[in-house]
Structure 1
Amino acid sequence: MAIVGVMGSGKTEWLELSVPLGHWIAGQGFDLLTGAGLGVMLSTARAFATTPGRKGRSIGIMPSEAHPEHGFVPLAGYPNPYIDLPVLTPLPRKQPDAPADALNRNYVNVLTSDVVVALPGGPGTLDEIRLATRFGKPLICVGPEPAFEGVPPGTRIVGELENVFAFVLARTSTGAG
């Protein structure tokens, strides 16, 4: 079963994109991977989890912080309630002042995904787009083109979800069929 990673804003839900995308991923029988937080991560996971008859699981890669007794614990608010399989890593969120190659949970998000779909977001989303490009992951961005300022040259940006659906199906070997 293919894992479709959906990256995007941790604040804005982009409902017109995230809800139909979450339903579609579930309807195809794919697993969904997000960062387990709010914004796009929450709305996509909610749509995915509430799709009748879904077969895939909602996977959430959580940022953490050190804890004296438990080693690491999720940051407050993680995972959102629509995550079936929360994955706790000892990796933090990407910090704005961190070097470009600083390890963070974005590596796990991208490297675990078979296909990466990016919705508009902030610096963390841009980092995930750059990592997908660096590691040769199939990547497509959906939303208004100005929302993707700073992505690597040649990054595919589309305005319609139908283009995303075709892209994902062409790069995965499974689907509802």
Structure 2
Amino acid sequence: MTTPLRPLTIGVMGSGKQPWTELAAPLGRALALAGYHLLTGGGQGVMTSVSEAFCAVPERVGRSIGIVPTEPIADGNGDAANGTFRALPGYPNPFVEVPILSPLPRHLPDAPPGTLSRNHINVLSSDAIVALPGNHGTHNEVGLAVHYGKPVILFGESEHFADLPASLVRTVSLDTVMDFVRTVR
């Protein structure tokens, strides 16, 4: 008897403010129809639009996973060191089916190189990364994917990725993204 392969987890990274629906919604549907799990940061923008489209596919195999930033909960004495955390306001978005609370902080633009953040969980828990346009957090995740040898593709107009390594594949074609994802094992 052979053990069936688990569905791959595809991390979709992108802006937490701008939804990029024209890219994220078709991508979410395609990933769900292909039987993948979806992993995002669980927030707004791209994370919501890709997750909403993913979850709208009936009878899909995969689940929508969100790595959720948290804040410590203070006890009655105001002590936040009791090890209890809650999701930050606005997290997870309504389309996250499996929220994973992380006490690691969000990536800050002025963080020293090598600083651990929840972006590490996003990248290391994904079998491949599809990056949509975003800002410092998205660019950090792309850098981490390159550092850790995770397959990564940039989905959107080239000017949105101008400061990322030229060696990375850039495309505006959903077919190219899905062909790339299908090569991952």
For normalisation by structure 1, the TM-score amounts to: 0.94
Structure 1 portions without partners, runs of 5+: 173-177
How far, CA to CA, are the matches of 1:64 and 1:150 in structure 2?
29
- For 1:16-31, list aligned pairs within 5 A: 16-31=22-37
Q: Which amino acid aligns with 1:50?
A: A
Report the counterpart of residue 90 of structure 2 in structure 1.
77
2:146 to 121, 128, 133: 133
Return the index of the structure with the highest Cα Rg: 2
2:175 to 152, 162, 172: 162
Structure 2 portions without partners, runs of 5+: 1-6, 76-82
Report the counterpart of residue 105 of structure 2 in structure 1.
92
Q: CA deviation at 1:66?
A: 1.8
* More displaced 10-residue stretch of structure 1: 90-99 or 108-117: 90-99
Q: CA deviation at 1:153?
A: 3.5
Q: How many residues align?
A: 172
Runs of 4+ in 1 over 6 A off after TM superposition: none
Q: Which amino acid aligns with 2:45?
A: G
Query: CA-atom RMSD, angstroms?
Result: 1.0
Q: Which amino acid aligns with 2:23?
A: L
Q: CA deviation at 1:29?
A: 0.9
- For 1:43-82, list aligned pairs within 5 A: 43-69=49-75, 71-82=84-95
Q: CA deviation at 1:73?
A: 1.3
How far, CA to CA, are the matches of 2:115 and 2:147 in structure 1?
14
Percentage identity across paired residues of the two chains: 48
